[in-house]
Amino acid sequence: MDTARKTGPSQDDKLLVIACGMIAREVLAVKQQLGLDHIELTCLPAEFHFYPDRIAPAMEKAIAEARAEGYSHIFVGYGDCGTGGQLDKVIEKHGVERMDGPHCFAFYQGQEAYRKVADDDMMSFYMTDFLCRQFDAFFMKPLGLDRHPELIPDYFGNYEKLIYLAQTDDPALDRVAEDAARLLGLTYERRATGYGDLTAGLARAAADLG
* Order of all β-strands in the sheet with 124-127: 124-127, 161-166, 187-192
- At residue 4 the predicted structure's pLDDT band, cuts being 50, 70 and 90, is very low
Helix orientation angle between 55-68 and 86-94, rounded to the nearest 10 degrees: 10
Residues sharing a CB contact under 8 Å with residue 202, sequence separation 6 or more, in sequence order: 17, 27, 30, 31, 34, 36, 39, 75
To the question of domain 15-102+196-209 being in CATH 3.40.50, the answer is yes
Tell if the pTM clears 0.85, that is, is over it: yes
**Contact at 8 Å (CB) between 197 and 101?**
yes
Model pLDDT for residues 96-125, shown as the tens digit of each residue: 999 999 999 999 999 999 999 999 999 999
90: buried, middle or exposed (CB in 10 Å: 19+, 13-18, 0-12)? buried
Model pLDDT for residues 137-171, shown as the tens digit of each residue: 999 999 999 999 999 999 999 999 999 999 999 99
Residues of the chain with CATH 3.40.50: 15-102+196-209
